[in-house]
Chains A and B, each alone.
Chain A
Amino acid sequence: MRMLKIKNLTAAYGRVRVLKGISLHVNKGEIVCLIGANGAGKTTLLSSISGLLRPLTGEIILNGTLIPRRADKIVALGCSLVPEGRQVFAPMTVRENLILGAYVQYRKDKKALAGIETVYDLFPVLRERAEQLAGTLSGGEQQMLAMGRALMAKPKLIMLDEPSTGLAPLIVKNIFKIIQRMRTAGATVLLIEQNARAALKIADRGYVIETGKIILQGPASDLLNNRDVQRAYLGRVKGE
């Protein structure tokens, strides 16, 4: 079952073409990671899927439906984004941040806020800090808050943009564990990472994006084994 299917997506900022015909798919229940260097087009791709940027051409099909243009409608359709750099609302409390995540659902279903307990179960630290201002949280806690906020919308597909950036190794490990747990709980994950090794280790499949093109794709284990990937994204190749 395809959760997300993208065909020949092109996007540009002004005259600069950033995506040059991207095709990729994410199956239901999969963790798929997209790796690539800075400026390769990773964030642009996520922005296009989540409706923050209008692509030039191509199609994005979410759960069998062509995605609508408005970002809030895309969230309503079951696709949430955990943006790069967390983007939590610093002057609001943790609880308020989470409630905002259910905004779209709450309009239709007043019980949408009940999901906060599930989020607290997944991130006990957020329950402890429920009334604390988000701006006072550590980087790792803010990342968890951003993930929790996305989960409040009960997404079928959750997209994470560089969740490990700027976090200590031990916290990164924890974040990746939580991503795996999110999948076990039924979510489908599209993960964008510069920490290619960690991402490929938890992913089922992966895509490598370079200057707006998918240059490699395949099972995550194959990509870990690919020498080009090793050289460009995993540091040195053994024996070279």
Chain B
Amino acid sequence: MYWQPEQERISRSELAQLQLERLQATLYRVATHVPFYRRKFKELHIDPDGFKSLDDLRSLPFTYKQDLRDNYPYGLFAVPLRDVVRLHASSGTTGQSTVVGYTQNDIKNWSDLVARIMTGAGVTKDDVVQIAFGYGLFTGGFGLHYGSERIGASVIPISSGNTKRQLRIMRDFKTTTLVCTPSYALLMADVMEENGISINELSLKFGLFGGEPWSEAMRNEIQDKLAISATDNYGLSEVMGPGVAGECQERHGLHINEDHFLVEIINPETLEPAAPGDLGEIVITTLTKEAFPVIRYRTRDLTRLLPEPCPCGRTFTRMERVMGRTDDMLIIKGVNVYPSQIEAVLLEVEGTKPHYQIVVERQGRLDKITVMVEVIEAIFFDQMKKQRQFIDLIKHRLATELGIGVDIKLVEEKSLERSEGKAKRIIDKR
């Protein structure tokens, strides 16, 4: 089953021509409409007119997350704001946030690309899709929502959280398709067990999971416990959101929507192309985005390409599930958290020292994050009540900044391990 059979089964040579055409138009547009790219091309003496083959891509500069932050909020938009019909943003209330925009055509393409992935996963217009991704500024909820509507499925925009209610609705509304993070799916399975809900009471058939790295073992457990076909999908708000790539029913790698995204796998150290089939960082150039095109975006996600043809008939190259990150970004309950965001908040609070440690662990099925922070003596030995207020203040600020709850533990000055060179800020016990 395909959503756009002509595009999804395009021959490789036709795809190359289409990618070249779209890339040339994209380069022209960023060079004329986005001052950031105009400046960068000029600095590097790049003539977008001289772009002759897809291999020339390697001469173009990378775009980094920091470039998005530096151009907060609208600096990288390629269309005037009046043409933008939707805005999404990453978490963060300080200058760390990044904003992306969509034109009407972008939303249409986005919906179609998600619809492709849902169709690939087996979902049809007869399905009832429960979307337990967060809505709001994150792209996850809305991305899957519009894709589901596009194929004509019945959408339950329940958003994340309140697991018992999720299960009740899942049973009563006869949900056939669950969309959430893989760890939340496992939590649901546990809560089902605890509450004596049998899988036979549910109508589940498919699960589309994304937002965080997971393993084949987790897939097997989810498929087993929820009696569904579980597929992986991949995307990031900087290039669009979900819909960049997704698994078909073969469940062996994610088909990249290559007619809309040009991907490279690079060695993150040398920045040279990784050998075919080698693990490396996936770098993405958008080919059709109108409002927010990006050139060679450094995703920091590690994966490898699987170039062999897929039995499903799609000609798009597959990527392996994301294996990890090349930077210090943490994914907590599907939310992206940078230690630098935490540091920025701590520095704003009077009484803290610039020494902290972030402990990430899995509590049951879910991620839990605890920040241990050194504080000045006066606070450490202060009355319980004042100390509590102090903790609450940091908690509140961090929650606003990150969009997720964080535990705080105050520790005495100089009690955290000091290391020479790079401080060990993160202890990931997951």
Give me the interface of A with B, judged by CB distance under 8 Å: 2, 5, 7-8, 20-21, 23-25, 213-218, 222, 225-228, 240
Closest to A239 in B: B82
Judge whether B14 and A2 touch: CB under 8 Å.
yes
Given A21-B52, A217-B22, A225-B105, 20 more A-B residue pairs with CB atoms under 8 Å apart are A2-B17, A8-B52, A8-B53, A23-B17, A23-B20, A23-B21, A24-B21, A213-B24, A214-B21, A214-B24, A214-B28, A215-B32, A216-B29, A218-B105, A218-B288, A222-B108, A222-B109, A227-B79, A228-B83, A240-B82
Whether B41 sits at the interface, judged by CB under 8 Å, is: no
With A5-B17, A21-B24, A228-B79 given, is the CB distance from A213 to B49 under 8 Å? yes
Who on chain B is nearest to A212 by CB? B49
Chain B residues with Cβ below 8 Å from A227 are 79-80, 82-83, 103
Tell me the complex Cα distance, A25–B104, Å. Answer: 25
Instruction: Please provide the chain B residues from 279 to 323 with a CB less than 8 Å away from any CB of chain A in the complex.
Output: 288, 290
Q: B406 an interface residue at 8 Å Cβ cutoff?
A: no
Question: How distant is the Cα of A23 from the Cα of B20 in the complex, in angstroms?
Answer: 7
Bin chain B's interface residue count: 20 to 34
The residue of chain B having its C-beta at the shortest distance from the C-beta of A222 within the complex is B105
Against A, the Cβ 8 Å flags (1 = close, 0 = not) of B1-39 are: 000000000000010011011101100110010000000
Interface string of B97-108 (1 = CB under 8 A from A): 000000111001
What residues of chain B lie closer than 8 Å to A8, measured between beta carbons? 52-53
Taken together as a complex, chains A and B put the C-alpha atoms of A187 and B165 apart, in Å, by 58
Smallest beta-carbon distance B32→chain A, Å = 8
Tell me the smallest distance from the CB of A83 to a CB of chain B, in Å: 26
Tell me which residues across on chain A come within 8 A of B52, comparing CB atoms.
8, 21
How many angstroms from the CA of A5 to the CA of B16 in the assembled complex?
11
Known A215-B29, A226-B105; judge A23-B83 contact (CB<8 A): no
A225 partner, pick from B17, B18, B20, B104, beta carbons under 8 A? B104
On chain A, the residues within 8 Å of B290 by CB distance are 226
Which B133-153 residues have a C-beta within 8 angstroms of A? none
Choose among B20, B104, B105 the residue with the greatest number of A CB atoms under 10 Å from its CB.
B105
**Set of chain B residues within 8 Å of A228, measured between Cβ atoms:** 79, 83
Whole-angstrom distance from the CB of A27 to the nearest CB of chain B?
A: 8
B51: CB under 8 A from chain A? yes
Q: Which 5 A-B pairs have the closest CB atoms?
A: A227-B83, A23-B21, A20-B49, A222-B105, A8-B52
